[in-house]
Structure 1
Amino acid sequence: NRRAQKCFSRCGFTPYGHLKKDGYSFILMELHRKEWEKRQV
C-alpha cells in the first residue's frame, strides 16, 4: 500500500527490509527511539 508507506515515511519510519510470504510482499519499516524523540521537540 503505497499510501501507507508514504504516511509512515512522513512520520519518520525508514524501510529496512522486504518479506515475501504466501504470495504477498511486505516492506519492513522501523523507527528508532532517538529519531522519534528528535521529532517530538
Structure 2
Amino acid sequence: MDTELFVEATIINVSFLRWQKKSSLFKLSLGFYVGKEPKFYPS
C-alpha cells in the first residue's frame, strides 16, 4: 500500500468528518430555532 496515498486519504477523511460534524451541528441548531419559532410567533 502506498503510504502517501494512505496519509492523503486519512487527511481528507478527517477534514470531511470535521465538516460533517459542523454541518450537522448547524442543522441541529437551525432545526431548534425553526422548531422554537412558532412558540414566539404564533401563526
Q: Same fold (TM over 0.5)?
A: no
Higher relative contact order (CA 8 A, sep 6+): 1
Structure-1-length-normalised TM-score: 0.32
Select the structure that is richer in helix.
2
Select the structure that is richer in strand.
1
Structure-2-length-normalised TM-score: 0.31
